A and B are shown apart, each in its own frame.
Chain A
Amino acid sequence: MKTDVIIIGGGLMGSSTALQLAMRGMHCTIVEKESPGRHASGVNAGGLRQLNRNPAEIPLTVEAAKMWRNIESLVDSDCDARFPGQLRVAENSDDLDLLEQRAALLHSLGYRHEEMIGRKELYQLAPALAPHCVGALICREDGYARPFHALTAFRHKARSLGVEYRVNTIVDGIEREAGNWRITTRKGEFQAPVLVNCAGGWAGQIAASLGEPVPLKPAAPMLMVTERLPHFIEPVIGSASRKLSFKQMQNGTLLVGGAHLASLDFHKEKSEIKWPKLAVSARSIMALFPQLKDVRIVRVWAGIEAFMPDNLPVICKSSTAEDAYHAFGFSAHGFQLSPLIGRILAELIVDGTSNFPIEPFNITRF
């Protein structure tokens, strides 16, 4: 089969890239080893967070936030996105110092989307919070969406513009031949002049086969969700000194993350929950919301994500192969960036250069 661009991986990065390329008139085929959204893109926490990003990511996250505000114009669905703000709560003066330093850093870079708020405003925004907190860093524009719905909306829109999804199809061979990429799978061969690596936790294997190995580490962050409760909190709650991200979803359930990792057998794609770490998360909740003691946990899971040593993604043209591109290694915060990543890759592929500062994400940095 011949196409303009072959994209390996049908998660959000692959789907967003295909969508943007299709909008520019190119024909794309996505080759996905399982089903779209089977991995990180379908099972993540849906956090749309600019708060506390690495400075290198700030220009990207700010633009992505604008795209999310307007996501319906891009994918014909609001992806159930809400923007009640995200907070990092300070529980003592050390926490407060940490957050103030962060706010100062951001302001020195010329950004204003993160700001400090005092105790009074904190309790106006989150009256349910335990009384000992002293202030918070806030990004008022932040929020969350429903990941699998977002992925489905991207997929639908991409398909309506002619993008083809080949599901349950594993890429097992990549060859360059006379200016063409030849991709072999057990379900046939694909050929295209351009190749994009959006293979998430598996992207390291693809990069290696292009002759540029990367120190990508697949890992499985855990999440838990509780029974439904009457609405009692609007913003997403994080903490200055605890690994915690806590929000009440559209349907009333509480979604709790904290970047604690499950143990992962990557080869078998099997993760096993690490209860000791979830117990720590539960204690963090007890500290901030003791009234939730008797709330029932309904489900706990983990999803496979690509982590880089510096927790920054790889977004670039290949340094070794002609007409090959990478977007992977989002280190558990790629959901928010995903609409923009497609645009950046489309710019790179079609125009040869991107309007965004992506030098920090070059594969040659390792």
Chain B
Amino acid sequence: MKENYPLVIIGAGPAGLAAATVAADHGVEVALLDEQPAPGGQIFRGIEAAPDERADKLGPEYLRGEKLVSAFRNSSARYYPDTKVWSLSEQRDIGVIHQQQAHMISAEQVLIANGAFERPVPFPGWTLPGVMNAGAGQILFKGSGIVPADGVVLAGSGPLLLLLAWQYLRAGVRVKAVLDTISRGNYIKALPKLPSALLVHHHITQGLRYQQTLRLAGVELHNGIRDLQAHGAESLESISYRHKGSNHTLETDSLMIHFGIIPNIHLSQAAGCDHFWHKRQQCWRPELDEWGSSSVKGILIAGDGGGIGGARTAEHAGRIAAFRVLYNLGVMNQQEMHLEAKQDRKWMKADLRIRPFLEKLFRIPESMLRVPHDDTIVCRCEEVTAREIRAAIADGHSDSNQVKFYTRCGMGPCQGRQCSQAVAHIVADQTSIPLQQSTQFRIRPPLKPLTLGQLASLYPDETE
């Protein structure tokens, strides 16, 4: 690994792969870093490994992924798999761990293409063994064929939930129930957005069709469920929920949950980029211009890390950002940049038409986000409950960071990834300061585990 590159891209999903290929094809020396062992990102994870079986599951989307990866492989871009980025500064110093060794490299331009993660929504019992994120469940299934042995309940909201239920069904897993938080209200609000959504025959709308398939197969499928709880002494034994005014209980030792996905903003926060609360997507996003440039010079963001837009949009956004980088590096002039980006812009605009519909339909009830049950653990690392957080707020600690200082909520190894959203919602609820005006946890590196020994190996010539 060199010490300096004109362009470093973080993340080898659709956004990073597309950007790296464009930049490399224009003669720019680019390093693409990704913590996974192979290119593809979240959606095309391991796409090179099991092509036939995967092709069947992903259909036409698979072809896109395969094309992306092979174009990237054929380019001159340098690819560093198994490489974690643990810090990113405003000056574009990038801390990485590659083959267990820590390095500090720098770049003239940095493109963050680090994707999204599943929105953590704390509810009673969510930390019990047996409760798992649908994304993780899907990776186990796709990667190693591991499925819940004694049936499964799926709960939450979003296309992935239905997709996974359908995949389990096809694999012969007993799907005991699919409990969706989508309410009638969501449907009514989403309806006006449907026509423009249908203009794109989007693979995601496919998800809605899964509902039909599941119903036909006799799977219990309830919409508008509330007050989801997981119960068990040592591990999950049963779940309960409210539906149409009455309480229900189901025995299960496996619960897959999913509440949509939100951008991974730790890197952009660490670099000091400005962020804002996006009401429709119920998450923070970096402030970006039409090229993906952030508020920090030389740092661009593309793909789901810049706001949820899906895999295709990520790919277009990656290319658009790459054209901007080429301009910033003096490889292209302004006119060329605009011209090159034109087609991607058009496709991206079309692809994004489905979003308003999805956002309205799969909107998570605010009542769940503000963690109504006091006993719910909000911070898994430090085991802080909603009660302790509310007590801290009542005690005058009126923003997220004060709550963090006081309760240690968010101070564990996950760096607040799991609890920052919930804390922000609770604070907003208790103080009546809208989320848009609230502060987020200040982000502290390292963003990925770095050992004392690895840190000690850096800058060997530096002395006291």
Contacts and interface: CB of A to CB of B under 8 A. Distances in A.
Contacts of A298: 411-413, 415
Interface string A269-288: 01011011111101101100
B399 A35 contact: yes
Interface range on chain B (Cβ under 8 Å from partner): 35 or more
A177 interface: no
Interface string B86-126: 01011101010000000010000000000000000000000
A292 to B, nearest CB: 5
A148 B404 CA distance: 10
A297 B446 contact: yes
A257 interface: no
B440 interface: no
A227 B413 contact: yes
A293 B445 contact: no
Contacts of B452: 226, 282, 285-286, 292-295, 297
A279 B90 CA distance: 20
A299 B463 CA distance: 22
A176 B401 CA distance: 36
A35 B89 CA distance: 26
A43 B401 CA distance: 11
A276 B459 contact: yes
B455 A278 contact: yes
A300 interface: yes
A152 B398 CA distance: 13
B126 to A, nearest CB: 22
Contacts of A226: 452
29 contacts: A35-B398, A35-B402, A37-B405, A42-B405, A165-B396, A251-B408, A272-B89, A275-B95, A275-B455, A275-B458, A276-B462, A279-B455, A279-B458, A280-B459, A280-B462, A282-B453, A282-B455, A282-B456, A285-B452, A292-B452, A292-B453, A293-B451, A293-B452, A294-B452, A296-B413, A297-B452, A298-B413, A299-B415, A300-B444
Judged by DSSP, the binding face of B is loop
Contacts of A285: 452, 456
A301 B458 contact: no
A301 B444 contact: yes
Interface in B408-464: 408, 411-413, 415, 442, 444-446, 449-453, 455-459, 462-464
Interface of A: 35, 37-38, 42-43, 148-149, 152, 155, 165, 167, 226-227, 242-243, 251, 270, 272-273, 275-280, 282-283, 285-286, 292-301
A240 B360 CA distance: 63
A265 B315 CA distance: 36
Nearest to B463: A280
Contacts of A270: 272
A149 B442 CA distance: 19
B347 interface: no
Contacts of A149: 406
Given A167-B398, A296-B451, A301-B444, 8 more contacts: A148-B406, A152-B406, A273-B89, A280-B462, A294-B452, A298-B412, A299-B415, A299-B444
A167 B402 CA distance: 13
A168 B79 CA distance: 47
A296 B448 CA distance: 9
Interface of B: 87, 89-91, 93, 95, 104, 272, 395-399, 401-402, 405-406, 408, 411-413, 415, 442, 444-446, 449-453, 455-459, 462-464
B86 to A, nearest CB: 9
B417 to A, nearest CB: 13
Nearest to A286: B456
Contacts of B95: 275
Most B CB within 10 A of own CB, among A43, A293, A297, A301: A297
B85 to A, nearest CB: 13
B450 A297 contact: yes
Contacts of A293: 451-453, 456
Given A276-B462, A285-B456, A296 B450 contact: yes
Contacts of B456: 279, 282-283, 285-286, 293
Given A152-B406, A242-B464, A292-B452, A273 B459 contact: no
A299 B464 CA distance: 21
A296 B462 contact: no
Given A42-B405, A279-B458, A279-B462, A297 B451 contact: yes
Nearest to A35: B402
B326 to A, nearest CB: 28
Contact of B464 (A35, A155, A280, A295): A280
Contacts of A251: 408
Contacts of A43: 405
Nearest to B104: A275
A28 B456 CA distance: 48
A294 B453 contact: yes
Contacts of A279: 455-459, 462
Nearest to A292: B452
B432 to A, nearest CB: 15
B91 A272 contact: yes
Nearest to A285: B452
B257 to A, nearest CB: 26
Contacts of B104: 275
